[in-house]
Chain A
Amino acid sequence: MAFDTKIREFFSNELKGIKEKGLFKEERFIASPQSAMIKVEYPAGAPPKEVINFCANNYLGLSSHPEVVKAAHEGLENRGYGMSSVRFICGTQDIHRELERKLTEFLGTEDTVLFPSCMDANAGVFDVVLDKEDAMIADRLVHASIVDGMKLCKAQLYNYKHLNMAHLEEKLQETQNCRFRMIITDGVFSMDGDIAPLDKICELAEKYNAMVMVDDSHATGFLGKNGRGTHEHCGVVGKIDIITTTLGKAMGGASGGCVSGRKEIVEMCRQRARPYLFSNTIPPVVVAAANKVVDLIASTTKLRDKLEENTKYFRAKMKEAGLDIREGVHPIVPVMLYNAKLAQDMARDLYDEGIYVVGFFFPVVPQGQARIRVQISAVHEKEHLDKAIEAFKKIGAKYNILGKKKEEIIAMYGL
């Protein structure tokens, strides 16, 4: 046996260290389909409790939508369960090609290739497009999967202050002698709901002859007039060279991702991207349901419109109640509390009130910027939103933070 006491002790101590730092992640078991109301077993072993879910990325409420579930059943019946092959041997069905075509049309790009996840898309794409004579210039708050993808690429790495276009321009000037340059950003940043100014980014990209890559996982399906994403919201459809996105959030929420964009780059991914080459792709049942998802959102904006209305209503009422909300238009609504313990305590009390939200603190968000992240969905009805608002008022009053400014909250609770 090679897993001897020394090795076991090493990992036990590592885990102890994670716990001591307050970074130990525990799963909560959900005994119902993903929806507005879910049954949660928390803590482990406790009887399931019905709560309103405000922490899923189920933006359009499609995770358990009857038409999507029906399409999944049909997919399972008609195309089976698994493929038992990578794409280029015998792992591609007609429905995979259909989904890639539909996504291309919906996103307004030239071509699309599916990946097992967006994490895999981000892990694969940079290494395919860039080499050591090139530069990657990334926003400092890009998603961890982009950071990992960039680590796998030999190109030189630069980063700019979050959303700071002047700093980005400095980096573009600094890298003028590189062969290719790529500006890399999230469309929407998941902790703040901040939206990247893609119009300005595209202007700079044109001025300095750089490509633009956007991970639009928190926007595809609902941001922009037709829900195409951040590029539609910013008026630059057709100008983004590479979009990576996920089917695991608004688009039905199961799993899967893609690289969509310039056809040569997409084709290069088919030839060389390692997570595409050396892994099965999305299973038929998920592909069949995802095809239905794209049909649904391409045929009507009803769901994204409802999400937008819900978001406006919730943001306005929370502000009115005196909570410190980060300004914005995105259904990610950060309730700023600054202090890590306060965020955790309030999230726990809100859970007791039947509102499932999560507190985030350093190192997930910058030091001193602890918050509760609320995520609005089209599946929420007004009474769900009102219950959450009332619960925030009650718990906010308990901790005496209603109507308090940042400095006052910090004075009471520290950073």
Chain B
Amino acid sequence: MGEDLKKLIIDYVKKEYLDEDSDQEITENTPLISSGIVDSFSMVSLKTFLEKKFNIKIPDEKATTDAFDTVNNIIKLLGEFVKIDT
């Protein structure tokens, strides 16, 4: 599930935040918020997407810009709510 999850999030980030013609590469370690790819206001889409996908509720105090800054951080956060095989 780890690899699938990584791909799922990266694909979503590309589709949701990058322009269609963007050649920006996104890996599991690419800073998303601190680099300005995703701003803190736009982050809500990603949070909603994950909540719906996994049928969970991520409390606001856990949905920090740090927790959402890289795909790896997001997977770590998700691990608190769902079982992830790595």
Chain B residue, CB-CB nearest to A147: B41
Q: Is the CB of B35 within 8 A of A157?
A: no
Q: Is the CB of A157 within 8 A of B36?
A: no
Q: Is the CB of B45 within 8 A of A367?
A: no
Q: Is the CB of B48 within 8 A of A140?
A: no
Instruction: Number of B interface residues at 8 Å Cβ cutoff, please give it.
Output: 10
Task: Indicate the size class of the contact surface on chain A.
Answer: 10 to 19
Question: Is B44 engaged at the interface, CB distance under 8 Å to the other chain?
Answer: yes
Identify which of residues 146-168 in chain A touch chain B, using a CB-to-CB cut-off of 8 Å.
147, 156-159, 161
Identify which of residues 32-86 in chain B touch chain A, using a CB-to-CB cut-off of 8 Å.
35-36, 39, 41-42, 44-45, 48
Q: In the complex, A368→B41 CA distance in Å?
A: 19
B73 CB → nearest A CB, Å? 19
Q: Is the CB of B48 within 8 A of A156?
A: yes
B residues less than 8 Å from A368 (CB atoms): 36
Question: Is A180 engaged at the interface, CB distance under 8 Å to the other chain?
Answer: no
Q: How many A-B residue pairs have CB under 8 A?
A: 24
Q: Is the CB of A159 within 8 A of B36?
A: no
Q: Is the CB of B39 within 8 A of A140?
A: yes
Q: In the complex, A273→B18 CA distance in Å?
A: 37
Q: Is the CB of A159 within 8 A of B41?
A: yes
Given the interface pairs A140-B42, A147-B41, the reply to whether A158 lies near B36 with Cβ below 8 Å is no
Q: Is the CB of B48 within 8 A of A363?
A: no
Question: Is A80 engaged at the interface, CB distance under 8 Å to the other chain?
Answer: no
Q: Is the CB of A157 within 8 A of B39?
A: no
Q: Is the CB of A159 within 8 A of B44?
A: yes
Chain B residue, CB-CB nearest to A366: B36
A182 CB → nearest B CB, Å? 15
Q: In the complex, A392→B36 CA distance in Å?
A: 29
Q: In the complex, A158→B44 CA distance in Å?
A: 7
B42 partner, pick from A159, A363, A367, beta carbons under 8 A = A159
Q: Is the CB of A158 within 8 A of B48?
A: yes
A411 CB → nearest B CB, Å? 17
A residues less than 8 Å from B41 (CB atoms): 140, 147, 159
B residues less than 8 Å from A140 (CB atoms): 39, 41-42
Q: In the complex, A147→B44 CA distance in Å?
A: 12
Q: In the complex, A156→B44 CA distance in Å?
A: 10
A residues less than 8 Å from B36 (CB atoms): 362-363, 366-368
Q: In the complex, A156→B48 CA distance in Å?
A: 9
B7 CB → nearest A CB, Å? 20
Q: Is the CB of B42 within 8 A of A157?
A: no
B44 partner, pick from A157, A362, A363, beta carbons under 8 A = A157
Q: Is the CB of B45 within 8 A of A159?
A: yes
Q: Is the CB of B35 within 8 A of A158?
A: no
Chain A residue, CB-CB nearest to B34: A367
Q: In the complex, A189→B36 CA distance in Å?
A: 18
Using CB atoms and an 8 Å cutoff, list the residues of chain B in contact with chain A. Answer: 17, 19, 35-36, 39, 41-42, 44-45, 48
If A156-B48, A161-B19 are given as contacts, then 20 extra A-B residue pairs at C-beta distance below 8 Å, sorted by A number, are A140-B41, A140-B42, A147-B41, A157-B44, A157-B48, A158-B45, A158-B48, A159-B41, A159-B42, A159-B44, A159-B45, A161-B17, A362-B36, A363-B36, A363-B39, A366-B36, A366-B39, A367-B35, A367-B36, A368-B36
